[in-house]
């Protein structure tokens, strides 16, 4: 289930740090019930002892954006839009219901009014070839150990085979969690429709390399529709891998 959240400020601009993903995540947790927020934050849904949150969110969308590198801040012209989705409908349903009961919410130091909340219909898909665009960039990586025992994260770009392979592995895990059934090997491919843009984002003290743009997926529509709202790739609950389908039948 996917919702579109429109927020406004009494001020002309909403000021945030450039690495604002953590603030959106905090806003979402505060808008859930305490029990559900604690479950998602501390536990999640497990696949072979590895937790998955099964939700994601978009970057902030605004009619005008200005970055101030000297102060490491970014200004968004009010109002702003954020998309939130989850393959577990209870998460987005509870989020929407709780937000409707609030007079305002806080995003960082900003007090924001909730102008509207829209529930979006899922795309109806019939073909294996699916065009998508990112609402937040896609990231995949592997973890290695250096000689000194410290971890090293190797991120992959869309031109590398590992990019496709890691996304496919991630899809398999999410599908098996959501459907509670094993899935055999399946056909999958992902290719940029045009040159993708590399982004470097900071989440807490961790730098994440990711890619945004338009992609062509080759995947069974049923498998895709199952994991669509949980995001592609890794770190979805930190605001990565949210996509929307282009040119589909409503």
pLDDT of 102 reads 86
CA dihedral of 166, 167, 168, 170, whole degrees rounded to 10? 90
Residue 61 DSSP one-character state = B
Which residue reads 């937790």 in tokens? Answer: 51
Residues of the chain with pLDDT > 90: what percent? 75
List pLDDT tens digits, range 87-134.
998 899 998 889 988 889 999 999 999 999 999 999 989 899 999 999
List pLDDT tens digits, range 188-213.
999 999 999 999 998 888 899 999 99
CB 83 within 8 A of CB 92: no
Contact partners, residue 132, CB within 8 Å, separation at least 6: 214, 215, 217, 243, 244, 245, 246
pLDDT of 249 reads 55
| Record: fold of 129-245 | Alpha-Beta Plaits (3.30.70)
Q: Band the pLDDT of 166: cuts 50, 70, 90.
A: very high
Q: Where are the alpha helices (DSSP H) in the chain?
A: 21-31, 34-42, 89-100, 161-179, 221-227
- CATH 3.30.70.1900 domain extents, the chain: 129-245
Burial of 16: CB neighbours in 10 Å, binned 0-12, 13-18, 19+: buried
List pLDDT tens digits, range 113-125.
999 999 999 998 9
- CATH 3.30.70.1890 domain extents, the chain: 2-120
What does residue 88 show for φ and ψ, rounded to 5 degrees?
-105, 105
2-120 CATH, one of 3.30.70.1890, 3.30.565.10, 3.40.50.10310, 3.40.50.720: 3.30.70.1890
Cis, bond preceding 127 (omega within 30 deg of 0): no
Which residue reads 């801040």 in tokens? Answer: 73
Q: Band the pLDDT of 35: cuts 50, 70, 90.
A: confident
């Amino acid at each position: 289930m996917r919702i579109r959240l429109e927020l406004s400020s009494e001020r002309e601009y909403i000021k945030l740090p450039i690495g604002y993903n953590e603030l959106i995540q905090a806003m979402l947790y505060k808008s859930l019930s305490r029990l559900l927020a604690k479950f998602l934050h501390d536990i999640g849904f497990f696949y072979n002892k590895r937790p998955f949150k099964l939700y994601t969110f978009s970057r902030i969308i605004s009619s005008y954006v200005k970055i101030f590198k000297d102060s490491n801040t970014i200004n968004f012209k009010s109002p702003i839009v954020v998309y939130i989705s989850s393959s577990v409908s209870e998460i987005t349903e509870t989020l929407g219901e709780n937000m409707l009961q609030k007079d305002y919410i806080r995003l960082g130091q900003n007090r924001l009014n909730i102008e509207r909340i829209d529930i979006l219909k899922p795309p109806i898909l019939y073909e294996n070839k699916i065009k998508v665009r990112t609402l937040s960039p896609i990231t995949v990586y592997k973890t290695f150990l250096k000689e000194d025992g410290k971890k090293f994260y190797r991120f992959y770009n869309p031109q590398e085979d590992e990019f496709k392979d890691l996304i496919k592995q991630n899809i398999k895990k999410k599908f098996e969690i959501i459907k509670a059934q094993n899935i055999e090997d399946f056909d999958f491919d992902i290719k940029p429709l045009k040159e993708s843009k590399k982004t470097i984002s900071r989440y807490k003290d961790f730098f994440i390399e990711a890619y945004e743009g338009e992609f062509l997926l080759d995947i069974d529509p049923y498998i895709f529709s199952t994991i669509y709202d949980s995001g592609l790739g890794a770190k979805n609950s930190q605001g990565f891998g949210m996509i929307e389908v282009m040119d589909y039948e409503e």
